[in-house]
Amino acid sequence: MTRRMLIILAGLGSAVILGTAFGFQYIGGLAPCALCLWQRWPHAIAILLGAIGAVVPHRLIAGLGALSMLTDAGIALYHTGIERDWWEGPSTCTSGGNALSGLGGDDLLSMDGPTGVVMCDVVAWEMWGLSMASWNGIACLILAGIWIAALTRGSEARG
């Protein structure tokens, strides 16, 4: 497979993952936490790099795509660790933190209280014991492998 085809494949992979995330949000009603949103940005970058690489399949594009997916895998691992209580997460989006600071007890017990607060340490959906963050991390590592294959691929003439 040529470098161009690998870059297109990796960019499309990120498009599928980002589309799935939006589907879970807008069709499935699962609002993302702050870390979930952070995990979307490297995919958006990879989609853009995939589009650029389809026209100009340069090694630099492939290297940046790999870096984007490895960064996202790191964010996903960090998020998974927070969900599994391996380490503490940001105090602004964990249930032990202060995401609801400034609210009194009456506010928290009121039915008119805060809505839409999504905690980073609460697993909203899982399949086979893995959360969306975990699955995203696995997918990012696979996509990073495709980007790295594109990086190490010879010139277009050699395929």
Tell me, what CATH number does 122's domain have? Answer: 1.20.1550
Q: How many domains does the chain have?
A: 1
Q: What is the CA radius of gyration of the chain?
A: 19
What's the pLDDT score for residue 116? 59
pTM over the 0.75 mark: yes
What's the pLDDT score for residue 103? 46
What's the pLDDT score for residue 117? 65
Name the residue with higher pLDDT: 90 or 148: 148
Domain range for 133 is: 3-86+116-152
**All residues at 6 or more sequence positions from 64 whose CB lies less than 8 Å from its CB, including other chains:** 45, 49
In a domain, 102, yes or no: no
> With pLDDT > 90 as the criterion, what percentage of the chain qualifies?
48
Rounded-to-integer distance, Cα 17 and Cα 152, Å:
24
Distances (CA, A) of 78 to 107, 121, 124, 126, 156: 31, 11, 16, 17, 37
What's the pLDDT score for residue 151? 93
In a domain, 105, yes or no: no
**CB 106, CB 112: distance < 8 Å:** no
Over residues 34-88, the pLDDT tens digits come to 888 889 999 999 999 999 999 998 999 999 999 999 999 999 999 888 888 877 7
Tell me what the mean pLDDT of segment 129-151 comes to.
Answer: 92
